[in-house]
């Protein structure tokens, strides 16, 4: 009976706690509905990749579910794929929640494709000491392209950017076109003066203060933002998104491909361990996946792969460094132009470009040295290893008998037919099956 009462008491307490928690949650929800407003913020940093697109798409979906006042995208990008940029723009335009694109931090920029993303926002802002623009197309090596192709690319990009900048006035529209045709760029204050952006904000709090009472257009409807007393919430990238974002960095992608290649080459030089080979394949595949997420110049990729092939070829057809030197040149040339495309220009740090192939060359040189050394080393196992070995006569050789070599008794014959007494030290001069030919040591 006592146990029943105790159980009933615990059940009653649990019920009271559950009701209390539900009531607290409802109270918070009602308070939020009555006056509490929320602004979601995400940080988007690095080249435009599928990871960036999925992160922005997820953030907009979350903002819609939570019915927030606005979603702020803090943007810092050198640009990227035109196709991916268009998909991001479409996602922003389709949002039911106002999206504010904020070029941040100070010193950051919204270059190339970043210009389009900034203009796609329902409102746009920049931090001091940031820049925007320079969306002129270039060829795979970063230089000018021929007039016909340039005109085709520019006409498409100009048409796209006019649709985004048209609502911002004639000056903004003119600048947006020149950002493509003349690679024009603008500082934060310059962009504000010509109407490309709506605010210059020192930080997030300053931005929300300026946005308070500002009117934006969402799907043709005018919406007045109320962000002055809004609660700021951040949406963090998932662990997978962070990992993919890290490896999608051009420098990291190149490093992964190179380290994977190094490990595979090392496995070829020193076969049998398998660990370096397995790790190398994994790193190489991850690196190639990362490169696949970025707009790459395939001529550069081909040159890099050619360099790796030449490194491996050196191991099998020694040319005393000729193939290795050619591989270093091909790898460096490929790395220099790998991430320079008409839609994206990124220069991998020069130390990485030079250091990686030089590291490969050093490892290959080390491997070739070992191979050459092994060619001049006398065998130490098997019948060949017995040649020159020192032994002791156990049964006098007259001229046949037995000797003790390498801890074993062997049938033996005196080389010159002369008798050799027991206990005499001898050298092995020939091996015929299980019979040794020997002579006195020192002769």
User: 3 lies in a domain?
Assistant: no
Nearest to 290 by CA among 334, 248, 227: 248
For residues 272 and 400, state if they share a domain.
Answer: no
Q: Which of the two residues, 43 and 407, has the higher pLDDT score?
A: 43
Q: How far apart are CA 190 and CA 188, in angstroms?
A: 6
Asked if residue 297 and residue 224 are part of one domain, the reply reads no
pLDDT tens digits, one per residue of 146-157 = 666 667 778 888
Whether 20 is in a domain gets the answer: no
287 or 234, which is more confident?
234
184, 175 Cβ separation under 8 angstroms: yes
* Token pair listed for 421: 């007494």
Are 77 and 113 contacting, i.e. CB atoms less than 8 angstroms apart? yes
Same domain, 156 and 277: no
Single out the residue in 187, 216, 240 at which a domain terminates: 240
Residues 229 and 199 grouped into a single domain: yes
Q: Quick one: 217 and 123 in the same domain? A: yes
Share of the chain above pLDDT 90, in %: 40
Q: Quick one: 58 and 160 in the same domain? A: yes
User: Mind listing the pLDDT tens digit for each residue in 54-72?
Assistant: 999 999 999 999 999 999 9
Q: Are residues 121 and 171 in the same domain?
A: yes
**394 plus 261 within the same structural domain:** no
pTM over 0.75: no
- Please tell me which residue, 410 or 197, carries the higher pLDDT value: 197
Mean pLDDT of 84-105: 96
Known catalytic membership, residue 261: no
Q: Is position 2 within any domain?
A: no
The whole-angstrom distance between residue 28's C-alpha and the CA centroid of its chain comes to 42
pLDDT at 29: 47
| 428 within a domain of the structure (yes/no) | yes
- Structure token pair of residue 193: 């003066």
Query: Is 427 contained in some domain?
Result: yes
Q: Is 50 a member of any domain?
A: yes
State the catalytic residue, choosing from 3, 20, 54, 112: 112
pLDDT confidence band for 441 (50 / 70 / 90): confident
Instruction: Name the catalytic one among 20, 81, 136, 152.
Output: 152
The arithmetic mean of pLDDT across residues 245-260, rounded, is 84
Residue with tokens 């090392």: 266
Residues 219 and 312 grouped into a single domain: no
- Domain end (from 375, 391, 410): 375
pLDDT of residue 310: 87
The residue segments making up the domain with residue 336 are: 249-375
Kindly state the average pLDDT of the residues 438-443. 81
- Within-domain flag for 292: yes
Query: Do residues 180 and 157 touch, judged by C-beta distance below 8 A?
Result: yes
414 a catalytic residue: no
- Write the DSSP string, 307-357: HHHHHHHHHHS--TTHHHHHHHHHHHHHHHHTTEETTEE----HHHHHHHH
Query: Which CATH number covers residue 402?
Result: 2.40.50.140
How confident is the model at residue 344, as a pLDDT? 60
Structure tokens at 354: 């030079």
Each residue's pLDDT tens digit, 301-345 = 889 889 888 887 887 776 777 888 898 899 888 888 887 765 565
Residue 420 gets which letter from DSSP? B
Tally of domains in the chain: 3
Q: Say which residue the tokens 């290959």 belong to.
A: 364
- Which of 375, 398, 424 lies at the terminal end of a domain, its last residue? 375
**Side-chain-facing half-sphere of 334: CA atoms under 13 Å:** 22
> Is residue 100 domain-shared with residue 35, that is, in the same domain?
yes
Tens-place pLDDT, residues 21-54: 555 545 544 444 444 599 999 999 988 888 999 9
Q: What is the CATH number of the domain that holds 126?
A: 3.90.226.10
Pair (101, 211) in one structural domain: yes
Crossing angle between the packed helical segments 239-247 and 250-269, to the nearest 10 degrees? 80
> Do 402 and 333 fall within a single domain?
no
User: Per the domain annotation, does 25 fall within a domain?
Assistant: no
Please say whether the dihedral angle defined by the alpha carbons of residues 370, 376, 377 and 382, taken in this order, is positive or negative: positive
């Amino acid at each position: 009976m006592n146990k029943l009462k105790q159980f009933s008491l615990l059940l009653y307490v649990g019920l009271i706690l559950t009701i209390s928690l539900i009531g607290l949650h409802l109270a918070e929800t009602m308070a939020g509905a009555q006056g509490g407003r929320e602004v979601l913020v995400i940080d988007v940093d690095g080249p435009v990749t599928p990871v960036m697109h999925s992160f922005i798409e997820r953030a907009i979906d979350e903002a819609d579910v939570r019915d927030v006042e606005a979603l702020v995208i803090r943007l810092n990008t050198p640009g990227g794929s035109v196709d991916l940029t268009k998909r991001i723009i479409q996602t922003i335009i389709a949002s039911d929640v106002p999206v504010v694109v904020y070029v941040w931090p100070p010193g950051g920029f919204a270059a190339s494709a970043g210009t389009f993303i900034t203009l796609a926002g329902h409102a746009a802002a920049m931090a001091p000491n940031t820049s925007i623009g320079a969306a002129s197309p270039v060829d795979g090596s970063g230089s000018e392209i021929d007039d016909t192709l340039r005109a085709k690319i520019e006409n498409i990009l100009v048409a796209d950017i006019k649709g985004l900048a048209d609502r911002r006035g004639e000056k903004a529209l003119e600048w947006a076109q020149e950002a493509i045709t003349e690679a024009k760029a603008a500082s934060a204050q310059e962009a504000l003066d010509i109407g490309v952006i709506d605010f210059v904000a020192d930080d997030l709090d300053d931005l929300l203060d300026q946005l308070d009472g500002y009117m934006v257009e969402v799907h043709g409807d005018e919406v007045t933002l109320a962000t002055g007393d809004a609660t700021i919430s951040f949406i963090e990238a998932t662990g997978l998104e962070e990992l993919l974002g890290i490896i999608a960095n051009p420098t990291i992608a190149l490093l992964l491909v190179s380290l994977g290649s190094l490990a595979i080459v090392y496995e070829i030089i020193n076969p049998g361990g398998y660990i370096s080979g397995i790790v190398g394949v994994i790193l190489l595949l991850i690196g190639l996946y990362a490169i696949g997420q970025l707009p790459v110049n395939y001529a550069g990729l081909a040159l890099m792969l050619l360099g790796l092939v030449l490194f491996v070829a050196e191991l099998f057809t020694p040319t005393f460094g000729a193939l290795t030197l050619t591989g270093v040149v091909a790898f460096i040339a490929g790395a220099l132009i790998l991430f320079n495309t008409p839609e994206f220009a990124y220069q991998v740090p020069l130390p990485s470009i030079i250091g990686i192939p030089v590291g490969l060359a050093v490892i290959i040189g080390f491997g070739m040295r070992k191979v050459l050394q092994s060619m001049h080393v006398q065998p130490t196992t098997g019948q060949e290893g017995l040649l020159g070995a020192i032994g002791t006569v156990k049964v006098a050789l007259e001229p046949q008998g037995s000797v003790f070599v390498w801890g074993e008794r062997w049938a033996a014959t005196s080389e010159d037919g002369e008798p050799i007494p027991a206990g005499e030290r001898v050298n092995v001069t020939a091996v015929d099956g299980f019979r040794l030919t020997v002579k006195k040591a020192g002769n």
